[in-house]
């Protein structure tokens, strides 16, 4: 009950035009403290990602929250999620997940730029136009013109090539089946070359 009230209070404050309110500031401070002690050693001190851990800086807050929940209930089931994120999310309550998501969404993302730049033009063409022959829709329709995401649809811009490539390939391997429609259907139709090109392109987008 207490939690519901504070969530509703935060949402109404976020909706007001008064800039950063005291309650919002408190949420961000709480989120940063949790992130610094529990998440930074894998995702990096400013959420830019590190090795196998993806970039969280600038990610959509609704998406971060939904993923934390999915790790907690074991819906997101690929090996790295099981190994790293199931333990990291097991004790999070809704207030903590909201604060972590709010905090990471305010950090400024730096593009990983770790893909193959020669493949980026092919990746961009696919991102914008899809592949009609293979019944693959354009990505731009949902993820936005600069892959910035919207509402619960994640930002892809600047994400590490290794992470995006692995994630897109894993849908075809049957993991992440619990993810929101339409990604399991779309990603499982992508060829290896298309995945390489898309993941390369996205790593450079600012």
Positions that interact with ligand HEC (CB under 6 A): 38-39, 41-43, 52-54, 56, 64, 66-68, 78, 80-81, 84-85, 88, 100, 136-137, 139, 141-143, 153-154, 156, 164, 167-168, 179-180, 182-183, 186, 198
Q: How far is the CB of 108 from ligand HEC (least distance, A)?
A: 17
Which one, 10 or 196, has the nearer CB to ligand HEC?
196
Which one, 85 or 205, has the nearer CB to ligand HEC?
85
Q: What share of the chain is helix, strand, coil (3-state, %, to 5)?
A: 60, 5, 40
DSSP-derived 3-state class of residue 43 = helix
39-45: which pairs have CB atoms within 8 A and are 24 or more residues apart?
Answer: 39/88, 39/100, 42/84, 42/88
Nearest Cα neighbor of 59 from 112, 127, 108 is 108
> Residue 200 to residues 42, 50, 122, 163: CA-CA distances in angstroms?
22, 17, 9, 11
Which one, 10 or 198, has the nearer CB to ligand HEC?
198
Q: How far is the CB of 193 from ligand HEC (least distance, A)?
A: 13
What is the distance between the alpha carbons of residues 195 and 10, in angstroms, rounded to a whole number?
Answer: 39
Q: How far is the CB of 182 from ligand HEC (least distance, A)?
A: 5
Cβ-contact 144, 206 below 8 angstroms: no
Which one, 22 or 108, has the nearer CB to ligand HEC?
108
Q: How far is the CB of 90 from ligand HEC (least distance, A)?
A: 10
Q: How far is the CB of 204 from ligand HEC (least distance, A)?
A: 14
Which one, 10 or 57, has the nearer CB to ligand HEC?
57
């Amino acid at each position: 009950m207490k939690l519901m009230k504070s969530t509703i209070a935060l949402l109404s404050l976020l909706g007001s035009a008064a800039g950063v309110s005291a309650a919002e500031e408190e949420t961000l401070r709480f989120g940063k403290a949790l992130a610094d002690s529990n998440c930074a050693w894998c995702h990096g001190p400013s959420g830019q990602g590190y090795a196998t851990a993806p970039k969280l800086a600038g990610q959509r807050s609704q998406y971060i929250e939904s993923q934390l929940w999915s790790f907690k209930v074991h819906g997101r089931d690929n090996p790295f999620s099981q190994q790293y994120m199931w333990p990291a999310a097991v004790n999070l309550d809704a207030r903590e997940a909201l604060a972590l998501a709010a905090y990471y969404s305010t950090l400024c993302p730096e593009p990983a730029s770790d893909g193959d730049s020669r493949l980026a033009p092919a990746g961009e063409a696919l991102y914008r136009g899809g592949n009609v022959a293979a019944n693959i829709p354009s990505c731009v329709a949902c993820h936005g013109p600069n892959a910035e995401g919207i509402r619960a649809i994640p930002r892809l811009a600047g994400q590490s090539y290794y992470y995006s490539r692995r994630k897109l390939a894993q849908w075809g391997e049957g993991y992440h089946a619990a993810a929101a429609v339409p990604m399991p259907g779309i990603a499982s139709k992508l060829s290896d070359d298309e995945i390489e090109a898309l993941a390369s392109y996205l790593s450079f987008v600012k």
